[in-house]
Amino acid sequence: MPSESEIIAWIRDRAGSDRIRKLSRMIGLKPQAGSGVVVGLGDDAAAFRATSGFDLLVCSDLSVEGVHFRTDWSSPEQIGYKGLAVTVSDVAAMGGHPIYALLNLALPKDKPEDFFKMLFSGIFELADKLGLRVIGGDTSSSPGPVFLDSMVIGECLEGAAVTRSGAKAGDLIFVTGTLGASALGLRLLQQSLVSSAENDKVPTWVRDHAIARHLKPEPLVNAGHAIGAAGLATSMIDISDGLSTDLSHILTESGQGAMLLAEAIPISEGVLAARDAGIEIDPLALALSSGEEYELLFTARPENRALLEDLVDSVGSRASCIGEIVADHGLKLHRDGVTEEIRVTGYEHSM
């Protein structure tokens, strides 16, 4: 783990503007991952010491075979990696930094012993990358499907947790990265069970990219933590259920409405290439509904726009401004001079 001064130097190297320098001082307050463990793995419970000046964030996610993943599509490593990634993403969406993880796993007796080891090697691949320490968990046999439950404990600066409820009329709406590839990947996987026609049409890079995006998502820890530490976002959520559904969660919790600009919504290049290759998809509809993207959706005052865009850029991602929070309830989309209401249908995990 780099020291505070190393982190600041690193950000300075890559950004260079005065504004980023000011923000990097705040980001320099990143907790030292895992440094507070008093009792780690192997005892009845783990013990760790909370860092003074930080609040703890705790969340868990359950992944079930046949609902959230299939063992014929995903390698055990991918199941482990994604099982942890989705929980880490929730900590990032609160503006926090993940520090500890606890994993519970139930496996049918007929799974080879290697399955367990490979699944945990996926978990440790992500944990090592993030400096996240596994401090506990449990294993059991399962009479049916594989179950993986991951709990993550993170930290954010005291009082700086970014919730879903702070968006106000006039705030701008931002999303990181591009959208749609995860849904395309799931569709190509599902289609491949029926026929190879769609998979044969799309270029290999599109297929590989979309499927990897679905099976092995990368949680945006640096962007989430930087946005949280800067204290400039009025609300934030990660995109697990689709842009329109997750934005509607912010709107409900904040008691506001929103107007999205169709042309500003960043659509995955792979999705556009798939459409150009003859796959029957509406790229915009896919970007609005694609779940399990794990990009960050947040709101901020207009005067902080450039600062936030630079900040997200400095941690290797990109933020696009896609619309505005309005006082009128409901979610609307402005497209080709016409405004229409978006019906939010929610997202069902389906295999």
Q: Which span (61-69, 83-91, 171-179, 277-285) binds Mg ion, by CB under 5 A?
A: 83-91
Min dist. Cβ of residue 184 to Mg ion (A): 21
Q: Which residues contact 328 (CB under 8 A, 6 or more apart)?
A: 257
**Contact status: 241 vs Mg ion (CB under 5 A):** no
Give the range of 31-39, 89-97, 175-183, 279-287 binding Mg ion by CB under 5 A: 89-97
Region from 26-34, 88-96, 138-146, 202-210 binding Mg ion, contact rule CB under 5 A: 88-96
Nearest of 166, 154, 103, 106 to residue 130 by alpha carbon: 154
Task: Tell me the three-class secondary structure of 172-222, residue by residue.
Answer: EEEEECCECHHHHHHHHHHHHHHCCHHHHHCCHHHHHHHHHHHHCCCCCHH
Provide CB contacts within 8 A for 346, sequence distance 6+: 241, 245
Among 77, 90, 149, 241, binds Mg ion (CB under 5 A): 90
- 238 contributes a contact to Mg ion by CB under 5 A: yes
> What's the 3-state SS for 276-290?
HCCCCCCHHHHHHHC
Which segment (66-74, 197-205, 238-246, 263-271) binds Mg ion by CB under 5 A? 238-246
x-or-dash string of contact with Mg ion, 31-70, rule CB under 5 A: ----------------------------------------
Give whichever of 15 and 236 is closer to Mg ion, judged by the CB atom: 236
Query: At closest approach, how far in Å is the CB of 26 from Mg ion?
Result: 24
Q: By CB under 5 A, is residue 293 in contact with Mg ion?
A: no
Cβ 338 to Mg ion shortest distance, Å: 31
> By rule CB under 5 A, what count of residues binds Mg ion?
3
What 3-state class would DSSP assign to 318?
Answer: coil
Least gap, CB of 291 to Mg ion (angstroms)? 11
Nearer to Mg ion among residue 59 and residue 279 (C-beta): 59
Q: How far is the CB of 303 from Mg ion (least distance, A)?
A: 27
Q: Which residues of 240-274 are buried (b: 16+ CB within 10 A; e: fewer)?
A: bbbbbbbbbbbbeebebbbbbebeebbbbebbebb
**Contacting residues for 205 by C-beta, under 8 A, at least 6 apart:** 270
Are 145 and 66 in contact by the 8 Å Cβ rule? The answer is yes
The residue ranges that bind Mg ion (CB under 5 A) are 90, 238, 240
